[in-house]
Amino acid sequence: MSTNKAVIALNGELKGNKEEYKKLIGEKDIFFIAADGGALLLESIGFLPDVIIGDFDSLTKAQYQRYEKMGAKILKYPVEKDKTDGELALQYCRERGFDNIIIIGFAGGRLDQQLANIFLLEYAFRNGITAFIKEPGLEMGIIEREKVFFQKIGASLSLISLDEKVTGVTITGCKYLLKAGSLLRYKTRGISNIIEQEKAVITVEKGLLLYVLNKNISSSTIPD
């Protein structure tokens, strides 16, 4: 394949307009994967899926036949399965060597589905895939050892433990600093920090963190 970068569109809601998504995604050398109704999301922002994966409970037969005629590969699974369409899309990426993934359309609908979509980031990480959830003004990802944020002054940064206890957490460049501290999954320390310097760094000695980077309402800085 000519690129190892892919965009997965889940069957959720978009959080911005077409131009914002084109800026966020880029328009060259990207492979587009739709999880079922995510095909409609992609089309609404000016992209067509290369592959559509799922049980097709969100697309009509006429719709997916139209996409097939337009050149999309159709991978249909039974409704009664033990994986979500989003996990099947990431599995497809793993099997075909895509290791740089942007996920859009994760939010909206049932809360359990939204949580499952967020935890797909850990699935990707444990399978050697670099993946981010991205929407205009929002980025989510996994921190194992270190994450550096450049030019995000004014953005809100939350850190959430994916293990019972994440140790050796050091935070620099933010309003609330931490040196070799611990973050617990069942406590809220780590929520709603603010980036105050051009370079903010999070380092971890042991454990996994989920980070959530949001545009701050008092700032014009938008994560990209």
Mean per-residue pLDDT for 99-120? 93
Between 120 and 3, name the one with better pLDDT.
120
**Helical residues (DSSP H) of the chain, grouped into ranges:** 18-25, 38-44, 61-69, 85-95, 111-126
Asked if the model's pLDDT at residue 1 lies above 60, the reply is no
Asked if the model's pLDDT at residue 214 lies above 50, the reply is yes
Domain 5-136 has CATH 3.40.50.10240: yes
Domain 142-214 has CATH 2.60.120.320: yes
For the chain, the domains span: 5-136, 142-214
Report the candidate in 128, 138, 186, 131 with the shortest Cα–Cα distance to residue 162: 186
Q: What is the CA 63 to chain-centroid distance, rounded?
A: 26
**Model confidence over 179-208: pLDDT tens digits?**
999 999 999 999 999 999 999 999 999 999
